[in-house]
Structure 1
Amino acid sequence: MESLTPQLSDLTTNIDTLTTALQPLLSQPLTASTSKQPLLDKAKTYILTVYALESLLFTALRLSGTDAKTHPIFAELQRVKGYFGKITAAEEMGAGGGTVRARVDREAAGRFVKAGLAGNERYDRERREREARERAGAKRKLEAMGTHTRFEEGVAKKSKATEGESVVGGGSGGFCA
């Protein structure tokens, strides 16, 4: 029994140290502790809390003589470990700032807006008028430049081909973007 005395003393000291360290978290609800944290830090806190609780359950099962590796708690621990990987990936994407910044795909956003406005007669009419003015302006500029005949023929063929495209189908309707 004497060989266990130093280990029990160390265990008691470690539990006391852990209790002191966890006191700020244990004295109030977890949501109060995390409410002012950034999203990624909040996720870390919740995942670490779940992992700590499940690790304690796993340890209790092993101490009671149960084969904990076949118990559902083991699968749950593996699932939580997977979340650690996701958090690490999110931190790496955030370039060390701890936050993940979303990038806006402007072309895709433009397509969404156009699709959302399709069927709006006033918008469709204004868009057709604007595109017609832009085509006419581009044609005037081209004629004013006095370009080479071969180039004009290619442009004429291209503009006739694009005039046949549907506006909803995504055709640019001429020279403008």
Structure 2
Amino acid sequence: MAEDDYPQELNDVFKSFDANLSKVEETLKPMLTSQRSDLTREMDPIDNAKLDLVAAYAVNSFYWTYLIANGVNPKSHPVKSELDRIKTYMGKIKEIEDKKNAPKLQKEAAKRFIRSAMFDGDNYSNVETKVPKSIENDAVVVSTEAAEVVEEPTTKRTKKHKKNKSIKKKRKTEQ
């Protein structure tokens, strides 16, 4: 069959397909020419699982394309459920990586932050503060609104602190 027997647009599509298929072969060449143990020797378990999932997804995607080329509806074929299963595992790996990269709570810094938010700084070192249980138990504090402020019963010390605070306010307004 000569090139003139079919439309030029179809010829362009075939050339593009051939070029893309060559790129896929180049990309997969390291995986196909070397032993799996050589590829995974220095990988951590997460990267190893990613490699397995990408390989499984690629094989199933090629089979999906094969089914389409043969006129079979791949949406009703078991390969669809296999691709969905692989996507689910890819999502699980992403969740694990996100948890690993999530910010960690620094207990002492959180305590200092809450103490400074509760008091204005004048003689606050003389006042005992109660830190919310969520911080004491190493739970992650999502925002400062999540931490409850625990009011202490009024004592001589807190009365004196309040009195000193009101005197300082009066002095500032008089100036």
TM-score by length of 1: 0.51
Question: SS of 1:94's equivalent?
Answer: helix
Letter in 1 for 2:62: L
Partner of 1:25: 31
Partner of 2:61: 55
Q: Distance in 1 between matches of 2:79 and 2:26?
A: 28
* Residues 1:93 and 2:81 aligned together: no
Q: Distance in 2 between matches of 1:7 and 1:91?
A: 39
Return the offset for 1:3: 1.7
Return the offset for 1:54: 0.7
Which of 73, 76, 93 is equivalent to 1:70? Answer: 76
Q: Distance in 1 between matches of 2:16 and 2:47?
A: 32
Letter in 2 for 1:21: T
* Residues 1:9 and 2:44 aligned together: no
* Residues 1:42 and 2:52 aligned together: no
Q: What are structure 2's unaligned runs of at least 5 residues? A: 1-5, 103-175
Q: Distance in 2 between matches of 1:31 and 1:62?
A: 34
Q: List structure 1 runs of 4+ shifted beyond 3 angstroms.
A: none
Return the offset for 1:46: 0.4
Percent pairwise identity: 28
Return the offset for 1:57: 0.9
Letter in 1 for 2:82: E
Query: 1:85-118: CA deviations, max 9, x gaps?
Result: 100001011117xxxxxxxxxxxxxxxxxxxxxx
Letter in 2 for 1:92: D
Question: SS of 2:71's equivalent?
Answer: coil
Letter in 2 for 1:91: E
Count how many residue pairs are aligned between Structure 1 and Structure 2.
96
C-alpha RMSD over aligned residues: 1.5
Partner of 1:159: none
TM-score by length of 2: 0.51
Letter in 2 for 1:95: N
